[in-house]
Amino acid sequence: MSDLFMVPWSDYQSELIDALGRTLLYTVVSFAGAVVLGLGVALLRLNRAWPARAIATVYTEVFKNVPLLAIIFLTYFGLASAGIRLDVFTAGALSLIVFYAAYLSETFRSAISGVHAGQTEAGEALGLGRAGIFGHIVVPQALRLALPGTNTFLVDLLKSTSLLVTISAAELMSEGRLITSATFRALEVYIVISAIYFALCYPLSQLLLWLERKVRAGDPLSPWRRRRMQAARALLAQDTSPGDTSPADVGLREAAA
Amino acid sequence: MTQPVTEAKETKASPEPVIRISGLRKSFDGRLVLDDVHLEVGRGRIVSVIGQSGGGKSTLMRCVNLLERPDRGMVEVAGEVVHDDGHMVCRDLPRLRRTVGMVFQRFHLFPHLTAVENVVLAQRRAGVPEQEALERAVALLRRVGVAHRGLAQPEQLSGGEQQRVAIARALALKPEVLLFDEPTSSLDPEATREVLSVMRELAADGMTMMLVTHELPFAREVSDHVVFVDGGRIVEEGHPDDVLGSPAQPRTREFLASYGSTS
Ligand SMILES: Nc1ncnc2c1ncn2[C@@H]1O[C@H](COP(=O)(O)OP(=O)(O)OP(=O)(O)O)[C@@H](O)[C@H]1O
Ligand SMILES: [Mg+2]
């Protein structure tokens, strides 16, 4: 064992922390971008106008069927040779965004169309407008359906940031390569780098699973919803004399009068 | 409209109509589903629509709150023409829908919200203040007898409880008329009894209702007027005792006979 661990890790501590931060930054920025773009593409695919659907379909199929590494090379080296020079961060994040947006759009589309048509109808019958129906009925239910798939892609995206080593993106994998070339201890270095990825991904996926369970159980996650439930609980717990449930209380008389 | 002859209910001065439909025609993909339908529901009255599956009962009902757009004819709700000769005249569709409450066969509660929140949602969107909306929701849940399940998710509720929450939800905006499209058709006998008893109370409170149902004894008990729809037309209508007791049209007799043998 003493043979295996001979890299002076304390010397690399601050570089490793920087690299870790960079990996997380790529993950957060790319995931946020992919969610937004993916949602846009999903809405295009659900659009009534066929050109919108066609564009979205072509987009999805193209980026689902090209390797991520090829997309990274295209945006960084390819575009540069055509005169469009993107810095490493922009090229790296952009590649991850366009790639994962294609997958997420499929998840979002099936989640949105998985919300029962009767739900929209019930919303219409209650006088809700398009925005109200989308925001309060379709999105929350689609979110529940999309959450498992979306979470899988988040963890996958975090791991895929390691491919950015090919454009020296200064994230964890690139740092690992630097330390290896300085110390020639490839096995030790990549075991440590892998352990860091694991230490990021495992808790993250557990956290997301916990979140899925909470959402599935209908637990209130937002403070305002929690407040509403508390108020409702208090009202429901109030003792009621028989007179309390007279129709006048609930406005039936006014309605019928 | 053939005026029925018997019973005090029908002979007293007819109240102003909350729903007035005339010359209604509707087709789907060129197939005529409703043709020249005339119907009135007076304030405080209960009108039941009966007929075979596919006869156009749901479509007729959905033309009232314009979930379906008629091709021809006039739809008037609460004294306001909302659709005329194939044209949307209603300027404020959300307001029309708040005037007309609807209860569906399959409940269609919002599964991501608790029972109470189901009753609150539309009120909040309509601008009712939070506390008032909550109080009203709780009062309505009490009224339909499901307050003890107020914090449950719809999937944790029995069918009868779900439908009663749906009725509370439909009442939340103080509609002037309630539409029920086969409210007990997906329920077992016990749950059916629960829901019918809530509807009976609403009737006793003077709620105006239009009801599509296969519960003929119930229709006979609560309705002021029964309409038999077949093949997209009103074949017979009148007082429940007449239409359901001694129908004049052979088609109605046939329907009732087939009905008696199946249920
Ligand atoms: N959105 C639609 N598109 C095409 N056809 C439809 C649509 N809605 C209803 N129809 C057709 O219109 C006819 C009448 O349907 P409707 O649902 O009004 O009948 P119903 O009397 O309510 O039947 P049920 O007792 O089965 O509910 C049926 O033939 C049905 O297939
Ligand atoms: Mg129907």
ipTM, interface predicted TM-score of the complex = 0.90
Q: What percent of chain B clears pLDDT 70, i.e. is strictly above it?
A: 94
Residue-wise over A60-90: b if at least 16 C-beta within 10 A, else e? beebeeeebeebbbebbeeeeeeeeebeebe
Measured distance CA(A192)–CA(A215) in Å, rounded: 35
- Could you tell me if the CB of B31 is within 6 A of ligand 1? no
Q: Is the pLDDT of residue A256 over 70?
A: no
Confidence of residue B151 (pLDDT cuts 50, 70, 90): very high
Mutate to test the pocket of ligand 1, among B25, B28, B262 (most ligand atoms within 8 A of CB): B28
Mean pLDDT on B207-235: 95
Kindly report the number of other CB atoms within 10 A of residue B262's CB atom. Answer: 7
Q: Is the pLDDT of residue A1 over 70?
A: no
Model pTM score: 0.86
Measured distance CA(A26)–CA(B164) in Å, rounded: 50
Measured distance CA(B233)–CA(B36) in Å, rounded: 7
> Which of A91, A112, A96, A97 is CA-nearest to residue A45?
A112
Measured distance CA(B53)–CA(B107) in Å, rounded: 19
DSSP B242: I
pLDDT at A240: 67
pLDDT at B148: 95
Q: Is the pLDDT of residue A192 over 90?
A: yes
Confidence of residue A216 (pLDDT cuts 50, 70, 90): confident
> Residue B211 pairs with which residues in a beta bridge?
B48, B180
> Which of B81, B98, A68, B65 is CA-nearest to residue B73?
B81
Q: Kindly list the distances between the CA atom of residue A215 and the CA atoms of A113, A140, A235, in Å, as whole numbers in the listed order.
A: 19, 10, 24
Confidence of residue A241 (pLDDT cuts 50, 70, 90): low
Three-state DSSP class for B259? helix
pLDDT digits (tens, 9 = 90+) for A68-106: 999 999 999 999 999 999 999 999 999 999 999 999 999
> Which of A212, A232, A223, A131 is CA-nearest to residue B118?
A232
Instruction: Identify the CATH assignment for B16-257 out of 3.40.50.150, 3.90.1150.10, 3.40.50.300, 3.40.50.970.
Output: 3.40.50.300
pLDDT at A3: 65
List the structure tokens of A113: 């169309």
Best B58, B93, B125, B140 member to test A by mutation, with max A CBs in 10 Å, is B125
Q: Answer whether B209's CB lies under 8 Å from B167's CB.
A: no
Mean pLDDT on B157-182: 97
Cβ–Cβ below 8 Å for A232 and B140:
no
Ligand closest to the CA atom of residue B54: 1
Mean pLDDT on A177-202: 95
List the structure tokens of B216: 């003929």
Cβ–Cβ below 8 Å for B205 and A251:
no
Name every residue whose Cβ is closer than 8 Å to that of residue B171 and which is 6 or more positions away in sequence: A250, A251, A252, A255, B101, B140, B178
- Comparing CB atoms, the residue among B102, B110, B117 nearest residue A125 is B102
Ligand closest to the CA atom of residue B181: 2
List the structure tokens of B25: 């025609």
Q: Answer whether B59's CB lies under 8 Å from B24's CB.
A: no
pLDDT at B15: 86
Work out the mean pLDDT of chain B and round it to a whole number.
92
Q: Is the pLDDT of residue A249 over 90?
A: no
Question: Sign of the CA dihedral A174, A177, A181, A183?
Answer: positive
Which position has the token pair 């199946």? B262
Confidence of residue A7 (pLDDT cuts 50, 70, 90): confident
pLDDT digits (tens, 9 = 90+) for A33-56: 999 999 999 999 999 999 999 999
Confidence of residue A238 (pLDDT cuts 50, 70, 90): confident
pLDDT at B202: 96
Mean pLDDT on B110-118: 96
Q: Is the pLDDT of residue B7 over 70?
A: no
pLDDT digits (tens, 9 = 90+) for A135-172: 999 999 999 999 999 999 999 999 999 999 999 999 99
